[in-house]
Amino acid sequence: MGAAMVGMMKPPEAGALDALALKFRSLELDSEADLQTVLRFVKIREAVSPGENIVDTRSPRRQLTVLLAGVACLHKKLEDDSRQIYTFQYPGDFCDLHRYMLPELDQKATVTALTACSIGTIRHDDLDQLLSQHPKLGLAFWRASMLEASILRERLLNISRRAALPRVASIICEQLARLEAINIKSAVIPITQVDLADAGGLSVVHVNRIVQDLRKLGALSKKTRTIEVASKERLAQLANFDRRYLNMPDLLSDWKIDIEELADS
């Protein structure tokens, strides 16, 4: 993202910070005073178009970037321009928390908008002050970093050990669960087959075949060219999906599938 865009701010619109507030509550920040304090330090930036970088090597290093609307991905490219997606990011997610915790770590990791996005920023200096005065905020950010690590561990296991079909099914399950966590109940997953391929370490041709198989098996809808879930229970069974790594004990209870059932399948 260019320096001009980074420097432009606008006042928060009504509801602009709702996703971030929901995120903090999911991280067990139970102090409304602490929540309102940190929200006051968020600066709303101009919109980011699909394909634009939200965070890259040119981005200011002394600010934390928050996704307020849209879908993005954290990824890294090799010399041949091939891309590995580490995680997808949704409203309320911290785009570059690693740059606050370890400023010199992996500066080439890039966050790119997959759809039109709205972002906010918090200056690191302000964050230092907030964390020193509001210890519960520190715990919330610590939990966020642990959740990011948990998702990355699952992605590593997925790529290195799972067969292609459960690998893709697991990635789709994760996105559906995370969307439900922010009250987006749509069965359509807002990522493409190219994104799935780059997240799963597979070719686009291979992913296309797997998507067709998942449609035949009743997990994905046959009525659309998008990735639309027809049966989350069927998808979870095919993925052998263990939701515990997402730390959402209550959210997925309506999936009508539990760990014991998966262990026997």
Question: In sequence order, what are the beta bridge partners of 75?
Answer: 85, 110
pLDDT of res. 58: 83
Whether 187 and 74 map to the same domain: the answer is: no
Q: For 80-103, what is the mean pLDDT?
A: 91
Whether 144 and 166 map to the same domain: the answer is: no
Residue 248's domain is classified under what CATH number? 1.10.10.10
Whether 92 and 208 map to the same domain: the answer is: no
Q: Is residue 157 part of a domain?
A: no
Q: For 139-148, what is the mean pLDDT?
A: 94
**What percentage of the chain carries pLDDT values higher than 70?**
86
Whether 20 and 145 map to the same domain: the answer is: yes
| DSSP state letters, 104-117 | TS-TT-EEEESS-B
Domain hosting residue 48, numbered range: 3-152
- If you ran DSSP here, which 8-state letter would residue 246 be given? G
Q: For 28-47, what is the mean pLDDT?
A: 93
Number of domains within the chain: 2
- Domain end (from 152, 187, 213): 152
Whether 140 and 196 map to the same domain: the answer is: no
Banded model confidence at residue 46, pLDDT cuts 50, 70, 90: confident
Whether 138 and 170 map to the same domain: the answer is: no
CA distances (Å), origin 42, targets 35, 39, 190: 11, 5, 26
Res. 159: pLDDT tops 50: yes
Q: What is the pTM of this model?
A: 0.88
- Domain end (from 91, 125, 152): 152
- If you ran DSSP here, which 8-state letter would residue 227 be given? E
CA distance 164 to 187: 22
Q: Which residue has the higher pLDDT, 103 or 187?
A: 187
Report the sign of the C-alpha dihedral through residues 83, 207, 232, 114, in that order: positive
pLDDT tens digits for range 199-248: 999 999 999 999 999 999 999 998 878 999 999 999 999 999 988 899 87
Q: For 112-123, what is the mean pLDDT?
A: 96
- Domain end (from 152, 183, 208): 152
Q: Which residue has the higher pLDDT, 215 or 261?
A: 215
Residue 134's domain is classified under what CATH number? 2.60.120.10
